[in-house]
Structure 1
Amino acid sequence: MMRIESLTEPSATNAAGRTPAIETDAVTVDIEGHRILSDVAFAAHPGQLHALIGPNGAGKSTLLGVIAGDQNVTSGTVRISGKELSEWSVRQLARERAVLLQDHSVFFPFSVRQVVEMGRTPWARSPREDDDEDVVAASLAATDIEHLADRRIPSLSGGESARTAFARVLAQQTGILLLDEPTAALDLGHQEAVLQLARERAQAGDAVVVVLHDLTLAAAWSDRITLLERGQVVATGTPVDVLTAERISAVYRHPVEVLMHPTTGTPIILPVRTGE
């Protein structure tokens, strides 16, 4: 079994951050006879943006599904805000965590505004329902899609659709955000804007877990990173501690060099290319 490296302790700058918002213990997932996750221990804390990285098939999206409550585990335990996942009702869980799936396609001709309004469903018939209009408007503005509010979803580009899905997650107003490749269909500017929003939610006290393929983006925006390979945790810690050239080259099976950004000091990961 691969040894898990806990490279650094979670930040103690936020008192609440010392208690995990999400915690898994020895989680194993088997699907159709294949082991997808093996004995995974993971924790995400309030006030931090925690990135999940790893090659294709490493188990990143499966782990996100586990902590969202959408993927059954073969063994192990999952706790959300200190309670085991089985103790939460569907409505309670929807008020506790919001999930952005990798596949967020909507095939019915809803408008952008209607899709964002769906994020408010968990708060129906509660005092927070009174905030719906303001929250939806703020979510549209934050994701730069106010001008698309009346457009029908099938008419949107991939990037516009992705921003609409992210706006729905923001409108849900939970303390835990689970984002599966939120930047995949976005151009450079909107990638930065989405991760800036995710970072702001963490700075406001939310626990944010995001699956990312771009290692340099993960390094730039994350407080902590968990690196997965073949369903196991290889390392967890700060971007500087996790993203070493030796470790990334071994896990991704391609040589890389790691440079430090001259201003921010965050790692920049570059593949080593040979030939012309």
Structure 2
Amino acid sequence: MSAPALETDAVTVEIDGRRIIDAVSFTARAGEVHALIGPNGAGKSTLLGVIAGDQAASAGGVRINGLPLEEVSLRELARQRAVLLQDHTVFFGFTVRQVVEMGRAPWARTSQEDDDDSLVTAALSAADVRHLEHRRIPSLSGGERARAAFARVLAQNTGILLLDEPTAALDLGHQEAVLQVARDRARAGHAVVVVLHDLTLAAAWSDRITLLEQGRVVASGTPDEVLTAERISAVYRHPVEVIRHPSSDALLVVPVRRAG
């Protein structure tokens, strides 16, 4: 098992007197895709913000690559982890390529700067927006903007990738493509943490899953360990079946629907 890339130790977050995260201990490792799942308001995005260093914890600690987060400078943090937020709208008149080039800012005046052009071009291709590179962001559809934002974090070329609902605005084909890129990054030795609502996608693409409910960890483990029909039905307050695809043996989470 690889060393932890990110760890939280009993992290708690309180905002306006409400406990959003309640004593959560979490570990993400290099070489793995780790999905955060849970119903709306479970604390997924808040936890991602804490491990990214963008949201302060009220209690508990965070370590990145073995170091306490508070000991890592902002510039060094930007060289260790890249973050894709839910809200990635850019209204200014930048082109797609200019937005993706922003991902290279942490590496300015370093030897890594020599790779800027090749990494930007590779990121544009990986996110399927190279054909849009000269288009201005306001002219794009929501899905195209989402892919441009994804390309920006890929161009940042960090060992840790934090993705908050990267598939939300995407069609089926691009959902699969984005998560394939995430899987490829993990195979290359990176740590990938991804917030997902689609449980079947989480099952298909994750090595590990952490299920949250009301700010607490309900279960953490492999998809088979976490995604049981009884547990998911209870947490999401809706009956589901967890079945295997007859051809691929993939795990499928299917809501139970009333006929008519």
TM bin (shorter chain): over 0.9
Q: Which of residues 3, 26, 43 in structure 2 aligns to 1:42?
A: 26
Total equivalences in the alignment: 260
Q: Which of residues 105, 119, 122 in structure 1 aligns to 2:103?
A: 119
Counterpart in 2 of 1:87?
71
1:257 aligns with 2:237: no
Q: Which of residues 124, 130, 147 in structure 2 aligns to 1:146?
A: 130
Return the alpha-carbon distance in structure 1 between the equivalents of residues 23 and 220 of structure 2: 15
Counterpart in 2 of 1:163?
147
**Match of 1:254, as an amino acid?**
H
Shift of 1:262: 2.9
RMSD: 0.7
Shift of 1:267: 1.5
SS at match of 2:4: coil
Shift of 1:39: 0.4
Residues 1-276 of structure 1: pairs in structure 2 closer than 5 A: 12=1, 17=2, 19-276=3-260
Point out where structure 1 has 5 or more consecutive residues left out of the alignment.
Answer: 1-11
Shift of 1:260: 1.1
Shift of 1:249: 0.2
SS at match of 2:62: strand
Give CA deviations for 1:41-89 in whole Å, capped at 9, x if unaligned. Answer: 0000000000000000000000000000000000000000000100000
Return the alpha-carbon distance in structure 2 between the equivalents of residues 116 and 263 of structure 1: 39
Return the alpha-carbon distance in structure 1 between the equivalents of residues 243 and 38 of structure 2: 19
Shift of 1:265: 2.9
Give the alignment's TM-score, normalised by structure 2.
0.99
**Match of 2:140, as an amino acid?**
L
**Any conservation in 2 of the 1:239–1:266 contact (CA below 8 Å)?**
no
Shift of 1:116: 0.1
SS at match of 1:199: helix
SS at match of 2:57: coil
Return the alpha-carbon distance in structure 2 between the equivalents of residues 106 and 263 of structure 1: 42
Shift of 1:266: 3.0
**Match of 2:190, as an amino acid?**
D
Return the alpha-carbon distance in structure 1 between the equivalents of residues 231 and 249 of structure 2: 19
**Match of 1:91, as an amino acid?**
R
Return the alpha-carbon distance in structure 2 between the equivalents of residues 261 and 239 of structure 1: 15
Return the alpha-carbon distance in structure 2 between the equivalents of residues 119 and 246 of structure 1: 42
**Any conservation in 2 of the 1:240–1:266 contact (CA below 8 Å)?**
no
**Any conservation in 2 of the 1:116–1:164 contact (CA below 8 Å)?**
yes
Return the alpha-carbon distance in structure 2 between the equivalents of residues 218 and 22 of structure 1: 19
Point out where structure 2 has 5 or more consecutive residues left out of the alignment.
Answer: none
Shift of 1:275: 2.9
Please list every run of at least 4 consecutive aligned residues from structure 1 whose deviation after the TM superposition is greater than 4 angstroms: none
Return the alpha-carbon distance in structure 1 between the equivalents of residues 74 and 27 of structure 2: 22
